[in-house]
């Protein structure tokens, strides 16, 4: 009986197949490629797309959702979800605005807004973790509560009349780059280091990967699960304060629907909705891609309701891709 030679797997010859295999080691490369292709196509479709003014406008617009999405990523990494992000942004912005017009210093007003967001996150975490209620139900409820409080604080009126120092937080530039973009970059670096190079960061991944195994390994699961909700609320609060500074006024319907944009940014960025997988860079790139597409729809004079259609379709598509990838 003739011996058969050993069969060895040969690398695929198709360039697309080789790229797909290589990019699996660096999933963000696919998002970067999509952003580059989209940018090239839009530059041909509209002369205004590559203008410095439009690029600053796009980067500023998606920086708010990217900051909030980093907090959302932490929650999703543990296998849970936070639907209250948009309402927390609105509530934090409104509370900060009321504090500022009452004479509170800008720095303290910003801290108050962040603490309001963190407080809502703490409520979400306690009810979801300590009482065992689904995070979907809990945050759906706090979404409504926070929005109701936001409207009730001023009975729907707009709050304005802020100092130039506060307005600088939302629209000021440092080295030609909007300040919220710098804040986004700093948080991107900080949370990347936290998740990749600290014990708590690795434990967050472990909880989403296998909560039972994490408990047996000695991870303080409930404490970390509450912590990620607090961080999610705090980052949403920060995003809401910056958005208020950008708008120059606090309105009761600020950031309505932002929770969908934030969740879409996370899932487009490659995070698994079942937990245990995702990167901060992917989240920021996901927010950037959504921002570019929304900007394209504006430049091409496409009706605004198609932006909502796109966001919803992307969430479903990304969830389907995640399911296929896990299988």
In a domain, residue 146? The reply is yes
From CA 128, how far away is CA 229, in angstroms rounded? 9
On whether residue 2 sits in a domain, the answer given is no
Residue 72 has pLDDT above 60, yes or no: yes
Classify residue 3: in a domain, yes or no.
no
Given a contact cutoff of 8 angstroms between Cβ atoms, the answer to whether 271 and 283 are in contact is: yes
**Residue 7: is its pLDDT beyond 60?**
no
Mean pLDDT (the chain, rounded): 83
Residue with the two structure tokens 């500074």: 245
CATH number of the domain where residue 277 is located: 1.10.3470
Residues 210-259 have pLDDT tens digits of: 888 888 888 888 888 899 999 999 999 999 999 999 988 888 888 888 88
From 103, 51, 66, 39, select the one nearest 236 (Cα to Cα): 66
* C-alpha span between 49 and 18 (Å, rounded): 32
Q: Which two tokens stand for residue 226?
A: 């509450």
pLDDT score recorded for residue 191: 93
Which token pair is 71? Answer: 């907090």
Q: CA-CA distance, 100 to 109, in Å (whole number)?
A: 6
- Identify whether 109 is part of a domain: yes
85 in any annotated domain: yes
Q: Is residue 44 part of a domain?
A: no
Give the range of the structural domain holding residue 65, as residue numbers without chain letter: 52-326
More reliable by pLDDT, 325 or 30 = 30
Domain count, the chain: 1
Q: Is the separation of the CB atoms in 64 and 190 below 8 Å?
A: no
Report pTM: 0.86
pLDDT tens figures, 10-57: 555 566 556 555 555 666 777 777 778 877 777 777 777 777 788 888
User: How far apart are alpha carbons 269 and 8 in whole angstroms?
Assistant: 34
Does residue 81 lie within any of the structural domains? yes
Examine residue 11 and state whether it is found in any structural domain, yes or no: no
In sequence order, which ranges of the chain are alpha helices (DSSP H)?
15-23, 28-45, 52-77, 85-101, 106-125, 135-154, 164-171, 179-197, 199-209, 211-216, 221-247, 258-268, 280-299, 305-326
Q: Could you read off the pLDDT of 264-316 as tens digits, one per residue?
A: 888 888 888 777 788 899 899 988 888 888 888 777 777 777 777 776 777 67
Average pLDDT over residues 179-194: 94
């Amino acid at each position: 009986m003739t011996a058969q030679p050993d069969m060895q797997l040969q690398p695929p010859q198709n360039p697309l197949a080789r790229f797909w295999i290589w990019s699996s080691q660096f999933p963000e490369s696919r998002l970067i490629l999509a952003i580059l292709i989209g940018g090239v196509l839009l530059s041909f479709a509209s002369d205004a797309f590559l203008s410095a003014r439009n690029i600053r406008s796009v980067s500023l617009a998606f920086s708010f959702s990217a900051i909030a999405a980093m907090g959302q990523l932490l929650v999703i990494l543990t296998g849970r979800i936070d639907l209250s992000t948009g309402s927390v942004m609105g509530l934090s912005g409104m509370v900060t605005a009321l504090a500022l017009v009452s004479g509170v210093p800008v720095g303290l007003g910003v801290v108050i807004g962040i603490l309001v967001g963190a407080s809502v996150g703490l409520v979400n975490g306690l009810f979801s973790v300590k009482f065992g209620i689904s995070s979907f139900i809990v945050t759906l409820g706090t979404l409504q509560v926070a929005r109701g409080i936001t409207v009730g604080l001023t009975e729907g009126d707009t709050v304005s009349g802020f100092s130039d120092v506060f307005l600088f937080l939302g629209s000021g530039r440092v080295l030609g780059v909007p300040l919220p973009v710098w804040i986004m970059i700093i948080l991107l670096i900080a949370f990347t280091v936290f998740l990749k190079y600290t014990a708590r960061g690795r434990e967050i991944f472990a909880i989403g990967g296998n909560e039972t195994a994490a408990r047996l390994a000695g991870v303080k699961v409930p404490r970390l699960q509450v912590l990620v909700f607090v961080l999610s609320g705090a980052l949403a609060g920060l995003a809401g304060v910056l958005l208020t500074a950008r708008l120059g006024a606090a309105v009761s319907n600020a950031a309505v629907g932002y929770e969908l944009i934030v969740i879409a940014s996370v899932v487009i960025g490659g995070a698994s909705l079942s937990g245990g997988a995702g990167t901060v860079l992917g989240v920021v790139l996901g927010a950037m891609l959504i921002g570019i597409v929304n900007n394209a729809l504006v430049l091409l004079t496409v009706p605004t309701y198609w932006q909502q259609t796109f966001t919803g379709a992307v969430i479903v598509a990304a969830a389907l891709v995640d399911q296929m990838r896990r299988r």
